[in-house]
Structure 1
Amino acid sequence: MAEAEERRAISPTVVHETIRKEGEEELSRSTSALGWSGLAAGLSMGFSLVAEGLLRQHLPDVSWRPLISKFGYSVGFLIVVLGRQQLFTENTLTPILPLLHNWSLGKLGQVARLWITVLLTNLLGALLFAWVVGNTEAFDAATRASFAEIGRAAAEPPFWTILVRGVFAGWLIALMVWLLPAAETARVSIIVILTFLVGLGEFSHIIAGSVEVLYLVTTGALSFGKYLVDYMVPTLLGNILGGVTLVAALNHAQVVAGDRKGRQAG
């Protein structure tokens, strides 16, 4: 019996409660602590562009190149998640569960404070990183050309395509957060697999993708207004829809339904 209990998968209720408690802790953090952590995350996400660009530049231009180069996309997420830095798309799940568990205007205000602080500092970090790699000699011309190609691929699709791709990205990143409490020794594998899928599918991520597109802005290849209206807005909306609606709300609903059924049975 003891061995069977050890092998038993962690229940959705336990996962839900683990993330909810983590969300409560995040909501109680000061604005300055959230801001510094968010800035660090925005800077760290720049290494997704760097790693992918370096791999792309050193691989031959053949059909299978993205299957290797897109593993670089996971690097920034590994740094952010394992380093416990604040990333906006993780927060479409973590603080939302406390809000769904105990709905109130006060709790909603806490979530809004966290979202605004983390989003703005993430984007500031992304902008700073993009400016440095685009306006210094840190990387050679061939690597910077790879960065520009990655940025153009992110920015070129039309508004609605970016929005739908943003839904998938928000969905997958929130699912990653949902899976991590039960992952134990598989945390790195889960982060790499799901973020590799985001990169390979060219799903639009508000921070990783902003580094890519802001690289074009800081090098004069794209206007800031174009980035704001054509990339940031649809990506942000899509990420929120994917994370909040498809993961936070649905997984909260299944746990609540299970609790009600258990109480009725009791």
Structure 2
Amino acid sequence: MSDETTRKLPQTEATPDEAKAIPADDLDERMPSKAATVHELLRREGERELSREVFALFWSALAGGITMSLSLVARGIISANLPEIELGHLIEAAGYTFGFIFAIAAGQQLFTENTVTPVVPVLREPSRAHIWQLLRLWGTVLVGNIIGCAIAAAVFVWMPIFTPEVDEKLLEISLHLMEKTPTAMFTGGIVSGWLIAIMVWAIYGLEASKLTLIFLATYLIAIGDFPHVVVGAIEVVYLLLLGQTTPGAAIGTFLIPVTLGNIVGGTAIFALVAHLEVRADEED
């Protein structure tokens, strides 16, 4: 048989164990579906994240928390300079996307992204070691993000950076978040976690449209008024430093419900369902 004929023969689909050794460029040809290809790419990235040192994760997460403050800043500046028009909130919401775009483009750690990527290898091989690595990563990144948010919020409060009009809008945006009940925080957090999970999955499937996908997912979170644990942490710490809320409300009304909601939306709903889809492909 000639070499040309051999090259034309269809390649057999790879098993999960075989997929680990396939170069990324060849996955599309060897995996049973596009979803399986994305799943394998996420698994590889998740394994890398799970094996990273705690301090590397922490500093990246802290930088991510600071960068995410751009979401609040951009919204405040746009709102302060926007004339009173009926659909002004749709324009203001575009500012919400700034923090996500810069943090993700810079490769900084965000807690809600990690409700998908490192979960995939845990679902593939749910060993005690994998589960421990996942919990370590979640705890490190969440703490790093919140400390970064606190640093940014302290700068906004204690340094004369913005005009009085912008400061007023920052306070208005932050107060609006804390008007929600814990139940609304939890259910809205499910939606925002789910949207971020879809975004992460879609980016791995269509890398060329990364910027557009980040904008669309986070813009929808903004106009839907769905709370996000990292962006919301900046707003809540901002209120705490101004004496506009209490530590009990910050933790009980915001932090716990939104964190759980983001985990449920990103992990329990999206990552698990997507994993089951891929497993079904492999069994077929």
| 3-state SS of 1:45 partner | helix
C-alpha deviation, 1:112, in angstroms: 0.6
User: How many angstroms apart in 2 are the aligned matches of 1:82 and 1:67?
Assistant: 24
User: Larger C-alpha radius of gyration, 1 or 2?
Assistant: 2
User: CA offsets, 1:2-45, max 9 Å, x none?
Assistant: xxx99xxx700000000110000001100000000000000000
Residue 158 of structure 1 is matched in structure 2 by 181
CA offset digits 1:205-257 (Å, max 9, x no partner): 00011111221111111112211111111101110000001111000000001
**Which residue pairs with 1:264 in the alignment?**
none
**Residue identity matched to 2:146:** L
Partner of residue 170 from structure 2, selected from 147, 166, 178: 147
Q: TM-score, normalised by structure 1?
A: 0.93
**SS of alignment partner, residue 207 of structure 1:** helix
Residue 119 of structure 1, CA deviation: 0.3
CA contact under 8 A between 1:135 and 1:218: conserved in structure 2?
A: no
Match for residue 209 of structure 1? 232
1:42-68 per-residue CA deviation (whole Å, 9 max, x = no partner) reads 000000000011001111233311111
| Preserved contact between residue 52 and residue 69 of structure 1 (Cα < 8 Å) | yes
Matches within 5 A, 1:53-202: 53-202=76-225
Flag structure 1 segments of 5+ consecutive residues without an equivalent: 262-266
CA distance in 2, matches of 1:226, 1:62: 33
Structure 2 gap ranges (5+): 1-7, 9-27
Tell me, in whole angstroms, the C-alpha distance in 2 between the residues paired with 1:97 and 1:61. 46
Of 48, 56, 69, which residue of structure 2 is paired with 1:33?
56
Mapped partners of 1:20, 1:80: distance in 2:
21
1:170-212, Cα deviation, whole Å (9 max, x unpaired): 0000110000012232110000011000011110100011111
For residues 11-26 of structure 1, the aligned pairs below 5 Å read 11-26=34-49
Q: Secondary structure at the match of 1:209?
A: helix
Q: Which residue identity does 2:173 align to in structure 1?
A: I
Q: Tell me how far apart the structure 1 counterparts of residues 151 and 86 of structure 2 sit (CA, whole Å).
A: 33
CA RMSD of aligned residues (A): 1.4
TM norm structure 2: 0.87
Residues 50 and 147 of structure 1 are in contact (CA less than 8 Å); yes or no, is this contact kept in structure 2? Answer: yes
Distance of 1:74 and 1:132 partners within structure 2: 21
Residue number in structure 1 paired with 2:274: 251
Distance 1:254 1:27 in 2: 23
Q: Which residue of 2 aligns with 1:227?
A: 250
Aligned residue pairs total 255
| Distance in 2, Cα, partners of 1:63 & 1:105 | 54
Q: What does the per-residue CA deviation read over 1:74-106, in whole Å, with 9 as the maximum and x for residues that have no partner?
A: 000001111111000000000100000001111
